[in-house]
Amino acid sequence: MTDAEDALRHKLKMAHRKAVQDAEVASKPIAEKGLLMVNTGPGKGKSTAAFGLALRALGHGWPVGVVQFIKGAWDTGERRLLEGSELVRWHSMGEGFTWETQDRDRDVAAAEAAWGKARELMADPAIRLLVLDEINIALRYDYLRLGDVVAALEARRPGLHVVATGRNAKPELIAAADLVTTFEATKHHFAAGVKAQAGIEF
């Protein structure tokens, strides 16, 4: 096959691919919808992806709400950056991982306070995107009533996007979600003895 024939073959293949793709996009009847997104799984990057989404939303001028359920005591790079934006309402309300607090009543109280703040932000018509960081952990340990959380998320106002992060997302939350991404743990430097590093893990 000559270079010209190869180029023509590629052009025809991509033209067909474009026609198929355009038809697929045209078949979708809903232009906009507030999405419930879940980032879960054992792999690294669930919160990182959510904060990347927050940056994208901010780039479009959207007001963003953030409620941290577990990692609130951490001084993180994303908190330093986003908390200073006039478009971000940031609330770090966790007290650290459950194995650090070792006090279930205290953990439940912190989770309930964080969920109360999340409900306030959900009711605020200015907020376009709400990040519920590590809410899946609070649900996993039954710090919150799963049925109440899922019902509130399903009843959210039409234009509100919500992303819930954390391992072990409950099946009921996954069923209610519009988008679920499972982060797999293929390889992690921690297993080779490398501790969490500023700028990478936090």
Q: For residues 201 and 119, give the distance between their C-alpha atoms in angstroms, rounded to a whole number.
A: 28
Mean pLDDT of 117-142: 97
DSSP three-state, residue 179: strand
Q: Residue ranges per domain, the chain?
A: 1-31, 34-192
Both tokens assigned to 1: 């096959």
User: Can you name the residues that pair with 179 across neighbouring β-strands?
Assistant: 37
Question: What's the pLDDT at 112?
Answer: 96
Q: Do 178 and 38 meet the contact criterion of CB atoms below 8 Å apart?
A: no
Q: Return all residues near 95 (Cβ < 8 A) that are at least 6 apart.
A: 72, 73, 101, 106, 107, 110
Average pLDDT value over all residues in the chain: 92
Confidence band, pLDDT 50/70/90 cuts, at residue 157: very high
- pTM of the full predicted structure? 0.87
Q: Which residues of 91-104 are buried (b: 16+ CB within 10 A; e: fewer)?
A: bbbbbeebeebeee
Question: What's the pLDDT at 22?
Answer: 82
Supply the CATH classification number for the domain 34-192: 3.40.50.300
Mean pLDDT of 138-159: 97
What are the pLDDT digits (tens) for 96-113?
655 566 788 899 999 999
Q: How does DSSP assign 54-88, residue by residue?
A: HHHHHHTT--EEEEESSGGGS--HHHHHHTT-TTE
Q: For residues 177 and 162, give the distance between their C-alpha atoms in angstroms, rounded to a whole number.
A: 9
What are the pLDDT digits (tens) for 7-49?
889 998 999 999 889 888 888 788 789 999 999 999 999 999 9
Q: Do 50 and 131 meet the contact criterion of CB atoms below 8 Å apart?
A: yes
Q: Return all residues near 130 (Cβ < 8 A) that are at least 6 apart.
A: 64, 65, 66, 67, 118, 121, 122, 160, 161, 162, 163
Question: What's the pLDDT at 3?
Answer: 87
